[in-house]
Amino acid sequence: MNEPPPPATTNPRSLLLAMLQAFSCDVPVQILIRAASLFDIDENRTRVALHRLRSKGLVVSEERGTYHIAGAQVCNAQTASWQRVLDRLQPWEGTWIGVYTAHLPRADKTIARRRDRATHLVGLRELQPTLLVRPENLAGGIEEVRGRLHSLGLEPDAPIFSLSHLGPHEPIARGLWDQMALDERYRRHIDRLTRLTLSVRSLHPEEAARQAFVAGGEAVRDILFDPLLPAPLVDPATREAFVETMIAFDQVGRSLWSDVLDTDLPLQTIPTVEPR
């Protein structure tokens, strides 16, 4: 059974950022207009969205009629990072990483949201009010986690530390993540991507590209937001199969989009909706 097409109300801003982030070079505006047209976004709306993105410093136009995303080198590295996510894991020895946030202000909603997003992206969950934890199973250990949290917006004065023993709180900590839901999510993506890979030849190329954008975007978002837990908190084999399935699907998606856009410009990754 084919996946339903995405809604025609796809956000022009998100679509254009996704397209620009997928390319590793300047992109002619006509290619962006063509991509937007697949989602019923007309040329005028596309140009208006590009103008607004440029005025906000999110995209750059150094040559007339071409655009690239601001900070393209960093953005491309972040976009491609989902393909190497399993390299960030190391064996878990039962220790934990903790972050204490009681003294950090909550009045500034923007800062608080940035903090919450940073801790969530790194897989931290609240063991007690203002104390967040995660298994210490990420390559590079606590220093890697500290650097990533700070780069994502966590305040530098938030204590980040190792915890050797949680005592009676250990079972509570292990239950902070829904293992069944995570494993089921991995399996659902594997099934969806596999079915779409097998069906693309029977779809109109534009429809196949649209479905790849939606299915691939949701898969990449879940990879980037995955807490990267060790066994026995998740089934690592199922997670690995999910990532490998998406890597294979990425090849299919890039080919689809290159054909639909009729371009030889290098796609670093399949265009996908940006993580939120």
**AA identity, residue 29:** V
Domain boundary residue, one of 139, 174, 209: 174
Whole-number pLDDT of residue 168: 95
Whether 14 shows a pLDDT value over 70: the answer reads yes
79 is a domain residue: no
5 is a domain residue: no
Number of domains in the chain: 3
Q: Are residues 99 and 120 in the same domain?
A: yes
Q: How far apart are CA 157 and CA 32, in angstroms?
A: 42
Domain boundary residue, one of 120, 144, 174: 174
Q: Are residues 64 and 103 in the same domain?
A: no
Whether 80 shows a pLDDT value over 90: the answer reads no
Whether 114 shows a pLDDT value over 50: the answer reads yes
Segment 47-69, tens digit of pLDDT: 999 999 999 999 999 888 999 88
Domain of residue 250: give its range.
178-261
**AA identity, residue 260:** V
**AA identity, residue 248:** A
270 is a domain residue: no
Tell me the pTM.
0.87
Domain boundary residue, one of 119, 141, 174: 174
77 is a domain residue: no
- Spatial strand order of the sheet with 160-163 comes to 125-128, 131-135, 96-100, 160-163
**AA identity, residue 152:** L
272 is a domain residue: no
Kind and range of the H or E run holding 98? strand 96-100
For the chain, give the mean pLDDT: 90
Segment 22-51, tens digit of pLDDT: 887 899 999 999 999 999 999 999 999 999
Average pLDDT, stretch 97-120?
92
DSSP helix/strand/coil, 128:
strand
Segment 139-164, tens digit of pLDDT: 999 999 999 999 999 999 999 999 99
Average pLDDT, stretch 126-141?
96
Q: Are residues 161 and 229 in the same domain?
A: no
Whole-number pLDDT of residue 257: 94
Q: Are residues 52 and 104 in the same domain?
A: no
What CATH number is attached to the domain comprising 155?
3.30.70
The owner of tokens 């500034």 is 108
Whole-number pLDDT of residue 63: 86
Whether 243 shows a pLDDT value over 80: the answer reads yes
DSSP helix/strand/coil, 66:
strand
Whether 120 shows a pLDDT value over 70: the answer reads yes
Whole-number pLDDT of residue 10: 74
Whether 4 shows a pLDDT value over 70: the answer reads no
Whole-number pLDDT of residue 266: 84
Whole-number pLDDT of residue 275: 47
Q: Are residues 140 and 218 in the same domain?
A: no
- Phi, then psi, of 252 in degrees rounded to 5: -65, -45
Segment 172-212, tens digit of pLDDT: 999 999 999 999 999 999 999 999 999 998 999 999 999 99
Residue 81, C-beta contacts closer than 8 angstroms, at least 6 positions apart: 224
Q: Are residues 211 and 252 in the same domain?
A: yes
Q: Are residues 169 and 110 in the same domain?
A: yes
225 is a domain residue: yes
What CATH number is attached to the domain comprising 51?
1.10.10.10
105 is a domain residue: yes
| Residue 32 β-bridge partners | none
Q: Are residues 30 and 107 in the same domain?
A: no
Whether 5 shows a pLDDT value over 50: the answer reads no
6 is a domain residue: no
Whole-number pLDDT of residue 102: 92
